[in-house]
């Protein structure tokens, strides 16, 4: 059985779909494509179809006319939604947009160079482009630049990597927030790391939620807080995470019903909390 999509995500998808439709009706096709892509990123097939079948035919003429915004967007659409045959065209659009100094174009062309998509792989040049995109405020450019530098294990760049990850996380990239938590934890900065794990968990990152639950339970980077630990576990149990179910049951043995209900309220999972209480009531080991 697959868990249903959370209501907040469904609401986000609907907002992006509506924004895309409104932009399309006004003839703002780049804005429409960007909105529909965001819906697709959240799992909307409707958003993906609207991007590739409705927006793309209108965006391509703008890209051909030299619009850097349209070129960057068209490169991404061709790369993500079309077959490999479209890669050479995608590279052309990305390269043109990057040459114009467009942040998304710089990042997209950098990604192609990093992965060897339609071009010869060149990690050094990709890093340069990601840094250039980051300097223009592009969060994904910052994230990609940080990851490449961390993989190179050059300790002299560590401060810069943390700065880039912070920029990416502040721009709303959930994976960057979780990665920043990992890197701060590795540096022994547990209190700061926990703040970023929580931020990532609040945005639906399961790995960060798992770490946050463990750290609140064990008092890492904070005083032990079983309610907060259960809060993050209940979010995971609602997604049918078997390990989280086991951990939540063990933790629940140490908690009162009132504390579990409080955790359920914080998690937005009151039904999961009530189910946990009912299950624990059958367990003779509960203290």
Could you tell me if 86 and 117 lie in one domain? yes
Does residue 74 sit within a domain?
no
Could you tell me if 119 and 149 lie in one domain? yes
Query: 75 near 105, Cβ under 8 Å?
Result: yes
Last residue of a domain, one of 148, 171, 194: 171
Could you tell me if 87 and 155 lie in one domain? yes
Task: Look at residue 112 and tell me whether its pLDDT is greater than 80.
Answer: yes
Could you tell me if 104 and 154 lie in one domain? yes
Residue-number span of the structural domain to which 44 is assigned = 9-65
Task: Look at residue 165 and tell me whether its pLDDT is greater than 80.
Answer: yes
Task: Look at residue 8 and tell me whether its pLDDT is greater than 90.
Answer: no
Could you tell me if 44 and 94 lie in one domain? no
**Region 67-88: what's the mean pLDDT?**
95
pLDDT for residue 67 = 98
Does residue 216 sit within a domain?
no
Last residue of a domain, one of 171, 205, 235: 171
pLDDT in tens, 28-74: 999 999 999 999 999 999 999 999 999 999 999 999 999 999 999 99
Task: Look at residue 13 and tell me whether its pLDDT is greater than 50.
Answer: yes
pLDDT in tens, 238-287: 999 999 999 999 999 999 999 999 999 999 999 999 999 999 998 766 55
Does residue 231 sit within a domain?
yes
Please tell me the pTM assigned to this model. 0.88
**Region 213-241: what's the mean pLDDT?**
97
Task: Look at residue 1 and tell me whether its pLDDT is greater than 70.
Answer: no
Could you tell me if 36 and 89 lie in one domain? no
Could you tell me if 27 and 104 lie in one domain? no
Could you tell me if 51 and 102 lie in one domain? no
**Region 84-103: what's the mean pLDDT?**
96
Does residue 271 sit within a domain?
yes
Q: What is the mean pLDDT of the chain?
A: 94
Helix 174-186 to helix 206-218 angle, to the nearest 10 degrees? 40
Number of domains in the chain: 3
Does residue 1 sit within a domain?
no
Does residue 182 sit within a domain?
no
Does residue 122 sit within a domain?
yes
pLDDT for residue 153 = 75
Task: Look at residue 169 and tell me whether its pLDDT is greater than 80.
Answer: yes
What share of the chain has pLDDT > 70, as a percent?
A: 95
Does residue 100 sit within a domain?
yes
Q: Which two tokens stand for residue 159?
A: 């401060």
């Amino acid at each position: 059985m697959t868990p249903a999509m959370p209501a907040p995500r469904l609401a986000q998808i609907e907002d992006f779909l509506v924004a895309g439709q409104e932009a399309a009706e006004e003839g703002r096709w780049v804005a429409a494509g960007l909105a529909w892509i965001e819906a697709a990123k959240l799992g909307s097939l409707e958003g993906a179809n609207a991007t590739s079948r409705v927006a793309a035919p209108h965006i391509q003429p703008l890209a051909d006319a030299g619009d850097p915004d349209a070129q960057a967007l068209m490169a991404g659409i061709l790369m993500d939604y079309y077959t490999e045959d479209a890669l050479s065209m995608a590279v052309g659009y990305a390269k043109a947009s990057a040459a114009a100094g467009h942040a998304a174009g710089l990042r997209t062309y950098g990604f192609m160079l990093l992965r060897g998509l339609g071009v010869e792989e060149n990690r050094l040049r990709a890093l340069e482009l990601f840094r250039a995109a980051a300097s223009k405020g592009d969060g994904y450019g910052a994230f990609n630049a940080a990851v490449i530098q961390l993989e190179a294990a050059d300790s002299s760049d560590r401060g810069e990597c943390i700065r880039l990850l912070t920029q990416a996380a502040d721009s709303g990239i959930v994976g960057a927030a979780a990665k920043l938590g990992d890197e701060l934890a590795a540096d022994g900065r547990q209190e700061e790391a926990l703040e970023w794990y929580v931020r990532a968990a609040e945005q639906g990152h399961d790995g960060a939620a798992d770490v946050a639950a463990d750290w609140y339970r064990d008092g890492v980077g904070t005083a032990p807080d079983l309610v907060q630990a259960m809060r993050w576990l209940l979010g995971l149990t609602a997604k049918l995470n078997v390990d989280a179910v086991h951990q939540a049951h063990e933790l629940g043995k140490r908690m009162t019903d009132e504390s579990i209900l409080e955790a359920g309220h914080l998690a937005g999972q009151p039904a999961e909390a009530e189910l946990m209480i009912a299950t624990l009531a059958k367990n003779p080991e509960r203290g």
